[in-house]
């Protein structure tokens, strides 16, 4: 079974995947199974690297086509192959909006370690990864669990991500303070908010030249030094490292919806561009 799973995932250029009994996953949105009728017995978490090089004024994840489309299409192909191989069972996949805590499942499956910035760090692709998972009612043999991937390293704990965080969000998280209503808003969240920005927020965006997202904690992380570019072709095509008003205004509605920065509509990134470039 391990050999066949590897063949299927490697066919999509997915090098890191694992398997867990569903009972070991942390369920967060179990109702997502209602429509499918699936009663999961196993979960197969996997990581999808997306790094294509440095981006200019947007996060690296937003410089590539929206992963919901790329990974969603990948999941469809993988589940189709799994259904052919194991026709007596059902397989469905999720990414982002998942029935479980995907990061916790990735850690348990040995796909990486947790960095102090809260991101999963993979031994090869660093933290520039998306996490997805496939669920099945197939009870996999114990020999499959935690044998397809095994991380043998840990975060070095240098605290560079905490020191570099421009709003102090990470410092607050690690301060031991229990009242998270006092936690400073992270720069990525600031760029994605609707409504007016304060002068301080605009100054932060200008200082760090960002109109969507924030990669500062990733850029300073030693684990992200000299990582390879993603082998996933969907991320290598149609890359936008520098966002401009002309690019946004020149997109059709369909093209715009296939970008991560479409989350808040056109008005928000256009507003940010005006504020940063003013």
Beta-strand runs (E) in 26-182:
42-49, 91-95, 113-114, 120-121, 129-136
Between the CA of residue 29 and those of 19, 100, 225, what are the distances in Å? 19, 6, 35
| Residue 96 annotated in active site | yes
Strand partners, 100: 27
Distance separating the N- and C-terminal Cα atoms of the chain:
58
Structure tokens at 208: 């760090």
What residues have CB less than 8 Å from 153, skipping those under 6 apart? 113, 123
- CA separation for the pair 74, 12 (Å, rounded): 7
> Cα separations (Å) of 257 from 69, 188, 265?
10, 19, 9
Provide CB contacts within 8 A for 246, sequence distance 6+.
none
168: helix, coil or strand? Answer: coil
Cβ neighbours around 275 below 10 Å, total:
17
Pick the catalytic residue from 80, 96, 159, 238.
96
Which residues have a catalytic role annotated? 96
């Amino acid at each position: 079974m391990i050999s066949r799973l590897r063949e299927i995932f490697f066919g999509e250029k997915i090098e890191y995947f694992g398997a867990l009994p569903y009972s070991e996953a942390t369920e967060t949105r179990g109702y997502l199974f209602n429509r499918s009728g699936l009663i999961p017995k196993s979960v197969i978490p996997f990581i999808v690297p997306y790094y294509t090089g440095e981006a200019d004024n947007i996060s690296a994840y937003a410089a590539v086509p929206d992963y919901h489309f790329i990974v969603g299409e990948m999941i469809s192909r993988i589940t189709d192959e799994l259904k052919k191989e194991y026709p007596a069972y059902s397989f469905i996949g999720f990414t982002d909006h998942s029935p479980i805590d995907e990061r916790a499942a990735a850690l348990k499956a040995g796909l990486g370690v947790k960095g102090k910035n809260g991101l999963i760090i993979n031994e090869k692709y660093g933290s520039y990864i998306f996490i997805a998972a496939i669920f099945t009612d197939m009870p996999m043999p114990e020999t499959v669990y935690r044998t397809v991937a095994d991380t043998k390293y840990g975060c070095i704990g240098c605290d560079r991500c905490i020191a570099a965080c421009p709003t102090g969000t990470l410092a607050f998280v690690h301060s031991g303070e229990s009242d998270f209503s006092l936690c400073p808003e992270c720069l990525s969240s600031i760029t994605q908010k609707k409504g007016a920005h304060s002068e301080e927020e605009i100054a932060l965006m200008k200082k760090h030249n960002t109109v969507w997202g924030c990669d500062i904690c990733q850029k300073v992380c030693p684990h992200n030094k000299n990582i390879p570019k993603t082998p996933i072709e969907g991320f290598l095509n149609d890359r936008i490292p520098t966002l401009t008003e002309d690019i946004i205004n020149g997109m059709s509605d369909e093209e715009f919806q296939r970008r991560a920065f479409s989350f808040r509509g056109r008005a928000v990134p256009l507003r940010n561009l005006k504020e940063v470039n003013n």
